[in-house]
Amino acid sequence: MLSKITTLVATAALSTMLVTGSALAAPVTIKFSHVVAENTPKGQMANKFKDLVAERLAGKVQVEVFPNSQLFGDNKVLEAMLLGDVQMAAPALSKFSRYTKKLQIFDLPFLFKDMTVAEKFQSSDKGHELLASLQKKGLVGLGYLHNGMKQLSSSKPLKVPADAKGLKFRIMSSDVLAAQFKAVGATPLKKPFSEVFTLLQTKAIDGQENTWSNIYSKKFFEVQPYITESNHGVLDYMVVTSKEFWMSLDKDLQAEVKKALDEAIIFGNGIAAKKALDDRQKIIDSKRSKLIELSDAERSQWVEAMKPVWEEFEKEIGKDMVDAAYKSNM
């Protein structure tokens, strides 16, 4: 009799747990893969997201962050996401061209005067439209994340475009960036971020373009004697997930995850500008690399040389988009 009652109680408890799904369900795991160091706006944002989720959604969701291309390099992460091997990433906007041509707008040289302009455009209707541009490919854009303006580092001093002629530059996987370097007579090479330091160190390439925080955290300044403060383009990210994963979350949980992510993005964007300034200063203080500042006349030469790239890609991106982005400067 006693054992029958015990069995009944146990069965009832088990069915309650199965119905509520609480006690037995393993937490949803979000693997967040990225390629940069932890001490960067993206690294800090991802860690903040992990902490907020741990604080608020313990037992329901857990975030695992994989920095420094530990899990996937930037050329593989979106494929891996569509296969369900990783749930979140924040690739540079230059790395989506296999999925949409629209985001190429962010690579157009000298289109955004500074990061406040990029931010203004990203928060506009057009910016939101671009965030949704990956939907048909099974990816969901969850938000923009800042890094900063790009600078040119090189084995030779670059003051005017003619100085770059014949040099090899590593670029992200973007045809716009390839055209940008071709426009000054240089040779662009599309290579993953994880290979840049070695390529520079072994002199397989002469230079690269990147933000202050990436140049500092990945020690590119130790193997590049010159950095030209060109501020010629934006390096920002889109935080993405797969539609399949996102839709698999129950609505309330999805909203809570999104809230934590939005807060982490605000945090990341909040530290990006200061990080750029601090890392710029650390590079100058190191005396490993010489900072080259451009006069207005020198800068105009770079603008003139690279500007034809806009027209080359206007059709793929959409003239209305380019015009709207340009107007954000005003």
Instruction: Identify the bridge partners of residue 116 per DSSP, sorted by sequence position.
Output: none
Distance between CA atoms of residues 156 and 267, nearest Å: 37
Name the minimum Å distance from CB 197 to ligand LMR: 11
Identity of the residue, 210 or 242, whose beta carbon is nearer to ligand LMR in the bound complex: 210
Nearer to ligand LMR, 142 or 249 (CB): 142
Q: Which is nearer to ligand LMR, 43 or 256 (CB)?
A: 43
Which CB, 52 or 235, lies closer to ligand LMR? 235
| Interface with ligand LMR in residues 232-271 (CB under 6 A) | 235
Given 30, 35, 152, 160, the residue binding ligand LMR (CB under 6 A): 35
- Please state the closest distance from residue 63 (CB atom) to ligand LMR, in A: 18
Angle between helices 319-327 and 308-317 (to 10 degrees): 120
196 and 268 Cβ atoms separated by less than 8 Å: no
Cβ(237)–Cβ(147) below 8 Å: yes
Q: Which of 28, 30, 36, 306 binds ligand LMR (CB under 6 A)?
A: 36
DSSP state letters, 164-205: GTT-EEEE-S-HHHHHHHHTTT-EEEE--GGGHHHHHHTTSS
What does the alpha-carbon distance between residue 275 and residue 270 come to, in Å, rounded to a whole number? 9
**Shortest reach from residue 29's CB to ligand LMR, in Å:** 22
Distance CA 139, CA 161 (A): 38
Q: How far is the CB of 92 from ligand LMR (least distance, A)?
A: 3
Residue type, 23: A
Contact with ligand LMR (CB under 6 A): which of 78, 92, 186, 321?
92
- Name the residue among 33, 5, 61 with its Cα closest to residue 253: 61
Query: By CB under 6 A, how many residues form the interface with ligand LMR?
Result: 10
Question: How many angstroms separate the CA atoms of 250 and 21, rounded?
Answer: 12
Work out whether 210 is an interface residue with ligand LMR (CB under 6 A): yes
Among 47, 147, 153, 224, binds ligand LMR (CB under 6 A): 147
Nearer to ligand LMR, 61 or 103 (CB): 103
Residues that bind ligand LMR (CB under 6 A): 35-36, 74, 92, 147, 172, 193, 210, 214, 235
